[in-house]
Amino acid sequence: MSKVKRNEVYAVVSGMSIVDGDYQETERTIIGRHNSIEKYVQRARKLYPDFLPREVRVYRSTFAMPLADFMQTATAYGEPVDITDDIRANETMGEDVPLEA
């Protein structure tokens, strides 16, 4: 039986939020793939106007499921892979993880 594999890319952006006139450490999650770290920063600023981003970490999670259950169930396998350096170098998104038979 064949399996369907999908990758989810997201970034965890840490920085400061302005709350009642004071600065507070905050982390925000930006879902989706962008070509550069600057695009993640721009997206964070657009979604959260009171947020000042300082550091961006980009991750990829791989999900696999049987073809028959594609629309109903997805199971994650493996740990999220930090691909921040790949994004910075504007290289490929890393090697694909082979599916288990």
Q: CA–CA separation, 28 vs 57, rounded Å? A: 11
Cβ atoms of 87 and 37 within 8 Å: the answer is yes
Pure H helices in 27-83 = 37-47
Domain 3-89, classified CATH 3.30.1490, yes or no: no
DSSP 95: P
Categorize the per-residue pLDDT at 4 as very low, low, confident or very high, splitting at 50, 70 and 90.
confident
Q: Residue 76's pLDDT is what?
A: 63
**Domain residue spans of the chain:** 3-89
30-86 confidence digits (pLDDT tens) = 999 898 999 999 999 999 999 999 999 999 998 887 777 776 665 666 777 888 887
Backbone Cα Rg of the chain: 17
Q: Is 64 exposed, middle or buried (0-12, 13-18, 19+ CB in 10 A)?
A: middle
